[in-house]
Structure 1
Amino acid sequence: MDIETIADALWDAMRQGRHMPAEWAGRLTMQQGYAVQLALLRRHIASGDRQTGWKVGLTSEAMRVQQQVHEPCFGYLLESGRHASGKAYRFDELIAPGFENELCLTVGKTLRGPGVSFEDAVDAVTHAAPALEIVEVRGPFAGNLPLAMADNAQQKAYVTGAAVPLTAENRDLARATVAVEIDGTPSGSAPGSAVMDGGGLLSIVWLANKLAEFDLSLDAGMQVMSGSFTKQYPASIGTRVSASFGRFGSVQASFL
C-alpha cells in the first residue's frame, strides 16, 4: 500500500486518540514504518509545528534488554514537545508515560551519509545538554516494531538543561555519567559509554548514516537525543525526577 495512504490512516487515528491501531499490526516492514513516520512528520509541519531534531533510541544494553529489541532506532523531535528543565507534566494528559536519561546534542554542521565517520561527528557536534526524554508507551514495542516506528518510537517530549560547549576536555562522551533521583531517592546510575558502547557521538554517526537511507541529511542546528544511559523508567502521578550528568549539569521534571 502507498506510504501516504498509510500515513493518512494513522494520522486520522491519532487525531481520534488512537495510537498504533490494531488493524495495522503486522502489516508494515521496518522501512515502511520509518517511511510512514517521516510522512507523519510532514503532516505535523504542515499543521504548523516545527521539527527541532531527532531522537536515537535503544542505544544502551539496558534499553535493548528492557525493550527486547536489539538494534537502534530513530524518531523526530518537535518544537511543541521541547521544554526547559523543571517542566511539570499533567499525568492525565499522557499515555502510560515514562522517562529516559540522555544527553541532547547540538549539530553545528550538516552531516550527510552514507559514510559519515566518528571524526565527522566530533567535528560537527558543538554542545551537549542534560536531558530527559518523555516517552509514552502507546502500544506493544517489541511485538510490533515497524508500527512503533511509524508512531515515532514512543517519543512525546523532551526536557533539557543548559547546553555546555564541547571542548577537548569534555568531548569524550563515553566518560560522561548520569545519576538519577526519583522523588529525592537515588534510583540508578550509568556511564556515557553505555550509549552505543562508546558514547553519544556514535549515535550521531548511526543517525546520519541511517537517515541517508531515506535521502535525508542530519542538518545543522538540529538537536539529537543521543539515547538513554539507563533503562526506561515509568512515571506515576507525583513522580519527581532529577538526572545529574556531572560536568554537563542536571535536569528536572515532574508529573502532576
Structure 2
Amino acid sequence: MKPLTTIDSEISVEEAYHIQLKNIEAKTEQGHKIVGKKIGLTSKAMQNLLGVNEPDYGHLLSNMVVENGGNVPKKGILQPKVEGEIAFILKEDLKGPNVTAMDVIQATDYVLPAIEVVDSRITDWKIQLADTIADNASSAFYVLGGKPIKIEDVNLELIGMVLSKNGEIVNTGVGAAALGNPIQCVAWLANRVADFDISLRAGEVILSGALSAAVDAQEGDSFVARFAHLGEVSVRF
C-alpha cells in the first residue's frame, strides 16, 4: 500500500488523528472494545527520523491481545516488528489537560513488562508521521507478562530491559529511553488525547513506549523481553 501522504501531502497531524478515530469507531461497531492506548515515537531518535518533536498514540482493542508465551495470529500480519515496553494498568481515570507525573502515579494500579507488535500497511515502512497516526500508530498486537508491581516500588527511569530473538540478545534498553521516564509518557498521552475529548479510563492498559529500536520478526521467530524487577514477557510468530 502507498503512504497516505503520497495522496495528500498536506494532511495534518490533527486530520490523521481524526482518520484514526473514524477507523476505531468502525472497529467498535464491529464488536471490538477499546481496552487501552499505546504511545509511539517516544525516543528522540525516532522523532528525528520522522522530523517531529512529540510522540504519537493509538488505541488498543480487545482483538489485539496475545497471551504471554502465545503465538501472534498469522492472519493480517504483514511486516511485523517487536518492541519491549512497560505497561501501566490504571485504577483511576486520567483526564487532561494538565495531568502531571504525580497524577499518573496516583492513577496507576500496577505496571507490567510488555511486548508490542507493530506493523504497517505501507510498503517497506516508508511512512511519515501522518501515515502511522492514521494507521492507529502502527499498532497490531500486544502481550503482557511478568507480575504486577506497584509503581512506587520501582524506579521506572532506571529499569533495564534485554530483548532476545531466538535466544540471541538483539536489543537492550532502559526506562529513560521513553521521554526520560515512562511516567512522563503517560502524562503526555492523557494531555494529548484531551484535545479530542478522550480520557484514559480506569482498567485500561497503557503501553508507554519502546525502550529500544523495533526488531523485525518473521514466521518461526520467538522473542523474550526481560525487565529488571518486572520479570519477562514472550511471544512467538
Q: TM-score, normalised by structure 1?
A: 0.85
1:183–1:150 Cα change, 3 Å: same
Counterpart pick for 2:21 among 14, 38, 63: 38
CA distance in 2, matches of 1:200, 1:144: 24
Find the counterpart in structure 2 of residue 244 from structure 1: 226
Counterpart pick for 2:190 among 205, 208, 214: 208
CA distance in 1, matches of 2:219, 2:71: 11
1:147–1:167 Cα change, 3 Å: closer
CA distance in 1, matches of 2:5, 2:70: 33
Matched-pair contact (CA < 8 Å) for 2:39–2:56:
yes
Find the counterpart in structure 2 of residue 124 from structure 1: 107
Per-residue CA distance 1:64-96 (angstroms, 9 max, x = gap): 356554420000000100112112125574111
What SS class does the counterpart of residue 226 from structure 1 fall into? strand
- State the superposition RMSD in angstroms: 2.1
Aligned 1:143-222 pairs, distance under 5 A: 143-170=127-154, 172-197=155-180, 199-222=181-204
Q: How many residues align?
A: 236
Is 1:83 the counterpart of 2:66? The answer is: yes
Find the counterpart in structure 1 of residue 86 from structure 2: 103
What SS class does the counterpart of residue 56 from structure 1 fall into? strand
What SS class does the counterpart of residue 221 from structure 1 fall into? coil
CA distance in 1, matches of 2:104, 2:186: 6
CA distance in 2, matches of 1:154, 1:19: 14
- Structure 1 vs Structure 2: percent identity of aligned residues? 28
Per-residue CA distance 1:156-190 (angstroms, 9 max, x = gap): 110111441315321x2102110111110112211
Counterpart of 1:176, as a letter, is I
Runs of 4+ in 1 over 6 A off after TM superposition: none
Is 1:223 the counterpart of 2:231? The answer is: no
Q: TM-score, normalised by structure 2?
A: 0.91
1:248–1:66 Cα change, 3 Å: farther
Counterpart of 2:185, as a letter, is S
The Cα shift of 1:19 comes to 7.7
Matched-pair contact (CA < 8 Å) for 1:68–1:142:
no
1:19–1:50 Cα change, 3 Å: farther
Matched-pair contact (CA < 8 Å) for 2:5–2:11:
no
1:143–1:84 Cα change, 3 Å: closer
Find the counterpart in structure 2 of residue 115 from structure 1: 98
**More divergent stretch after superposition (215-224 vs 72-81):** 215-224
CA distance in 2, matches of 1:247, 1:164: 10
CA distance in 2, matches of 1:214, 1:174: 29
The Cα shift of 1:145 comes to 1.9
CA distance in 2, matches of 1:129, 1:53: 14
Is 1:137 the counterpart of 2:140? The answer is: no
Find the counterpart in structure 2 of residue 49 from structure 1: 32
CA distance in 2, matches of 1:252, 1:231: 17
CA distance in 1, matches of 2:229, 2:12: 41
Stretches of structure 2 lacking an aligned partner (at least 5 in a row): none
The Cα shift of 1:147 comes to 2.9
The Cα shift of 1:20 comes to 4.9
